Amino acid sequence: MGFRTLDDMELSGKVVLTRVDINVPVENGRVTDTTRIDRIVPTVRDLRAAGARVVLLAHFGRPKGKVVPEMSLKQVVPSLSDALGVEVGFADGNYGQAVSGMEDGDVLLFENVRFNPGEESDDEGFARRLAGLGDVYCNDAFSAAHRAHATTHALARMLPACAGRSMEAELKALEAALGSPRPPVAAVVGGAKVSSKLDLLANLVTKVQHLIIGGGMANTFLAAQGVDVQKSLCEHDLLDTARDIAARAEQAGCAILLPRDVVVAQEFRANPETRTVKAEEVPEGWMILDAGPDSVMHIRTVLDGCATLVWNGPLGAFEMEPFDRATTAAAQHAAKLTRDGALVSVAGGGDTVAALNHAGVAEDFTYISTAGGAFLEWMEGKELPGVAALSA
């Protein structure tokens, strides 16, 4: 898709309404994780360098259109100022007056946009009032791009619009992963339930050459093939659905990879007695909690022959040892291929980011998306309203 970036806009002396995601964790009025704040620094830095007057629009929590003092963005201002290296102003009303007092290079944060009921209803009246305060609209919040809200959708239609640096990087990474990827393409999809990723699987079988299924959902696909998975997590009511997805994959020329061997235990806890058995030989009363070493070798061989990888979800119950081994080993191999320049690797989703951090390879992937819902909907092939609104 075509979209404008900061490089395409005239910014000097302009008020740039910049949608960001700084919905960060806060305890006792203090920000405990600045990851999302850090991601907007390049955009604000470049806007200030171009002589813009930067107005930040953001949400915090779910106040449902009402003023909730505990969800005020004012508590984020100190961390925001530290990260940006400039004093950030704050306005919780009289927005016109606050904006009129700005000078080139100033940064001003508006109060939580979700305090206004017009935000989540994509109200044009609310968006028009905001648009009257600015000259340019910039969206740097991909994580909120799947929501058709006033500050992600309606507002973008009312002013010259562009993507911020974080949004630009995200869209380019996603285009490289599934939009116009270098084939062959592999996808790793893990997690507990097939039911939560039906749209994702249905879309991927038409886009990738290798679909590697792990986690609890792999048990459902194994059971659909007649494997007795014993006490393993399995959605037995979705066996026909799994068979349908497998049939569509075969028709599309997509090979589905399921575990060949598995690590099993009689209970889910740290460091229990485990066995590694063939997938079709799970002992009575035991449960599958990870893919085995032969499965990992198979995954490594497939990745060796691929040019692009998109990853969403772990291969096992990685939160608890020793059931993190398959995810860690596969992730480390993908990271090595990426470092060697042989693989473009894009990953996203909360569990995925945690798993890659656990494996010590998050910095080695081509791109890691922290967007959660927006990343998943993009992988499902859905149009994201906040992205569509930026189309050039």
Share the mean pLDDT of the chain: 95
Radius of gyration of the chain (CA): 23
d(CA 170, CA 175): 9
Query: Taking CA 110 as the corner, what is the angle to CA 153 and CA 171, rounded to the nearest 5 degrees?
Result: 40
Q: Does 358 belong to an annotated binding site?
A: no
pLDDT at 186: 98
Q: Are residues 227 and 261 in the same domain?
A: yes
275 is in an annotated binding site: no
Is residue 34 a known part of a binding site? Answer: no
Q: 153 and 278 in one domain?
A: no
Count how many residues are written for the chain: 392
At which of 118, 142, 166 does a domain end?
Answer: 166
Give the per-residue pLDDT at 200. Answer: 92
Average pLDDT of span 49-62: 97
Q: Is 22 annotated as a binding residue?
A: yes
pLDDT per position as a tens digit, 140-180: 999 999 999 999 999 999 999 999 999 999 999 989 898 89
In a domain, 53, yes or no: yes
Same structural domain for residues 134 and 158? yes
Beta pairing partners, 161: 137
CA pair distance 251, 119, nearest whole angstrom: 43
299 is known to lie in a ligand binding site:
no
Q: Tell whether 171 is covered by a domain.
A: no
Is 61 known to sit in a ligand binding site?
Answer: yes
Q: Are residues 162 and 274 in the same domain?
A: no
Please compute, for residue 85, the number of CA atoms within 13 A of its CA located in the half-sphere on the CB side.
7
Helix axes 35-49, 77-84, angle to 10 degrees: 60
pLDDT digits (tens, 9 = 90+) for 136-149: 999 999 999 999 99
% residues pLDDT > 90 (the chain): 88
216 and 362 both lie in a single domain: yes
Q: 202-206, 255-259, 341-345, 388-392: which has the minimum mean pLDDT?
A: 388-392
Domain of 193, in residue numbers: 181-379
The predicted pLDDT at position 76 comes to: 97
236 assigned to a ligand binding site: no
- Rounded to an integer, the average pLDDT of 71-98 is 97
User: Residue type at 347?
Assistant: A
- Please tell me whether residues 322 and 353 are part of one structural domain: yes
> Is residue 175 a part of any domain in this protein?
no
Q: Count of CB atoms within 10 A of residue 132's CB?
A: 12
Are residues 130 and 229 located together in one domain of the fold? no
- Please state, as a whole number, how many other Cβ atoms lie within 10 Å of the Cβ of residue 109: 25
Q: 211-230, pLDDT tens digit by residue?
A: 999 999 999 999 999 999 99
CA atoms of 261 and 290, how far apart (whole Å): 9
Question: Is 197 annotated as a binding-site member?
Answer: yes
Is there a single domain that holds both residue 52 and residue 129?
Answer: yes
Distance of alpha carbon 361 from alpha carbon 357, whole angstroms? 6
**CATH code of 314's domain:** 3.40.50.1260
For residue 373, is pLDDT > 90? no
Does a structural domain hold residue 359?
yes
List, for residues 221-255, the tens digit of each pLDDT value: 999 999 999 999 999 999 999 999 999 999 999 99
Higher pLDDT, 376 or 115: 115
- 392 pLDDT tier (thresholds 50, 70, 90): low
- How many domains would you assign to the chain? 2
322: cis peptide before it, omega within 30°? yes
Structural domain ending residue among the three candidates 166, 200, 219: 166
Amino acid (1-letter code) at residue 319: E
Looking at the fold, whether 28 and 115 belong to one and the same domain comes out as yes
The answer to whether the beta carbons of residues 152 and 20 sit under 8 Å apart is no
1 confidence band (pLDDT: 50, 70, 90): low
Residue type, 124: E
346 phi and psi angles, rounded to 5 deg: -125, 130
342, 365: one domain:
yes
pTM: 0.88
Question: If you average pLDDT over residues 297-324, what whole number do you get?
Answer: 96
Q: Are 95 and 133 in contact (CB under 8 A)?
A: yes
Task: Provide φ and ψ at 144, rounded to 5°.
Answer: -110, 10
Amino acid 371: pLDDT = 83
Q: Hunting for tokens 């959605």 — which residue is that?
A: 235
Question: Do 125 and 188 fall within a single domain?
Answer: no
Burial class (CB in 10 A: 0-12, 13-18, 19+), 363: exposed
In this structure, the answer to whether residues 147 and 221 fall within a common structural domain is no
Read off the pLDDT of each residue in 312-316 and give the average, rounded to a whole number.
94
**Residue 172 within any structural domain of the chain:** no
Is a pLDDT exceeding 70 seen at residue 123?
Answer: yes
Residue 249 inside a domain? The answer is: yes
Band (370; pLDDT cuts 50, 70, 90): confident
Q: Does any domain span residue 1? A: no
Condensed to tens digits (0 to 9), the pLDDT of residues 19-30 reads 999 999 999 889
Q: What's at 153, amino acid-wise?
A: H
Q: Please indicate, yes or no, if residue 173 is contained in any of the structural domains.
A: no
- 350-360, pLDDT tens digit by residue? 789 889 999 99
Pick the last residue of a domain from 166, 191, 220.
Answer: 166
- Position 2 scores a pLDDT of 81
* 378 neighbors 384 (Cβ within 8 angstroms): yes
Instruction: Please give the positions annotated as active site.
Output: 36, 193, 350, 373
Q: Maximum Cα–Cα distance for the chain, whole Å? A: 73
Span 309-338, average pLDDT: 96
Amino acid at 97: Q
Q: Which residues pair with 210 in a beta bridge?
A: 186, 255
Could you tell me the sign of the dihedral formed by the alpha carbons of 296, 180, 192, 210, in that order?
negative
High-pLDDT (> 70) share of the chain, %: 99
